Structure 1
């Protein structure tokens, strides 16, 4: 059997790959085929299959695996950042209670009540954390905040639960927010700042 020239082999490969069976090739199959082609090209590069060709093939294999792992890690991290757990009180920003209050007042002045409600509850949460009335906040939901703060400040437990519901309604329930909801949270925030915890 006469060996095929490079151009003839490429033509036959293109004909083969244009058949309907290859139209729905999976990503893994495509990656494997590309990798096989790269290995073949690397070994063809060195005449007579010398050790240099084998070394080049091994180097390509290592580079391919490193690139694949890098892409998979990047995709996993991106996916983890994009999927914040429903109910998560904070959205990754590190702001002080005063900064959250300022943002809430600005949003309220603009009539953006849903966002103003969220920022005001974040101000409450940050203030309670700063005063060591609740534990650290990463991943904490509004309901968890209300339950934990309610143990330290039992006189405010019902109001904190109502504030958590208002936050969840506007953040996840599609409720547009209102001046009344914001006023309730602002009043609660101001009274909580003066409150002292009950000794356990």
Structure 2
């Protein structure tokens, strides 16, 4: 005879003893709940949504000829977006990487400005543009020292050359700064120069030779002007 149930005390539920299929179903429902679902990147979710919006090929029927090119264009645009997004962090890391410390413009055995100019022009003719940039800017610095527009101070960097010559040649201040940046990028930043950049450095050196300096703004001289 079954025992009477007391008020306010429900009988315990019968233990669940599912078979294999039922257990798999319960496990699947549990894993699909929010507690176990992995967070996908928004780009992956957006791509899945885009693919789901495309109609099935059998449902399209006869398509005009341009449809194939349109779909191909959409796919290429999507692939390009994925590549840009994937390379974003690498590009930012390259932009934020510390630059190498700049060194002197005129290091090692000292040569005349004319020698530097000859080497720069020969290098440019032989399409050795990096060498043309370096020797072209060295010719500019050596020429300023020979004209006593700069004192013969060892260790002067390209930035310092541009900074000290800018008041002397104010019209060419921006060109001096850009040429100094190119020199540092090639010499100490492991960058490759372009032919246009090499030509610009050599042309700047020639313009400075033809320009009259503002001597009141020149750096203190260590030698007597000739």
TM bucket normalised to smaller = 0.5 to 0.7
Q: Deviations over 1:160-197 (max 9, x none)?
A: 00110010111111111111001101111111001111
In structure 2, how many angstroms separate the alpha carbons of the residues matched to 1:96 and 1:179?
24
Matched, 1:138 2:154: yes
Unaligned runs of 5+ in 1: 1-84
Match of 2:143 in 1: 127
2:204 aligned residue: 188
From the CA coordinates, give the structure whose radius of gyration is larger: 2
Please provide the CA RMSD for this pair.
1.3
Q: 1:118 pairs with 134, 138, 157, which one?
A: 134
Aligned pairs for 1:13-28 within 5 A: none
Taking the aligned partners of 2:112 and 2:153, their CA distance within structure 1 comes to 12
Does the alignment pair 1:109 with 2:125? yes
- Counterpart of 2:189? 173
Gaps of 5+ in 2: 1-100, 217-226
Q: Which residue of structure 1 lines up, in the alignment, with residue 111 of structure 2? A: 95
Distance 1:194 1:137 in 2: 24
Aligned counterparts, 1:13-52, within 5 A: none
Aligned length: 116
Q: Whose helix fraction is larger, Structure 1's or Structure 2's? A: 1
TM-score (norm 1): 0.55
Q: Deviations over 1:125-146 (max 9, x none)?
A: 0111111111114100000000
1:47-84 CA-partner distances (Å, limit 9, x unpaired): xxxxxxxxxxxxxxxxxxxxxxxxxxxxxxxxxxxxxx
Residues 137, 118 of structure 1: alpha-carbon distance in 2 compared, 3 angstrom cutoff: farther
Cα deviation 1:81-104 (Å, max 9, x = unaligned): xxxx73211221211111001111
Tell me how far apart the structure 2 counterparts of residues 166 and 88 of structure 1 sit (CA, whole Å).
Answer: 14
User: Does the Cα contact within 8 Å between 2:149 and 2:215 map onto a contact in 1?
Assistant: no
Choose the corresponding residue for 1:151, options 167, 170, 193: 167
Q: Which structure exhibits the higher relative contact order, with contacts defined as CA atoms closer than 8 Å and separated by 6 or more residues?
A: 2
TM-score, structure 2 length as denominator? 0.49
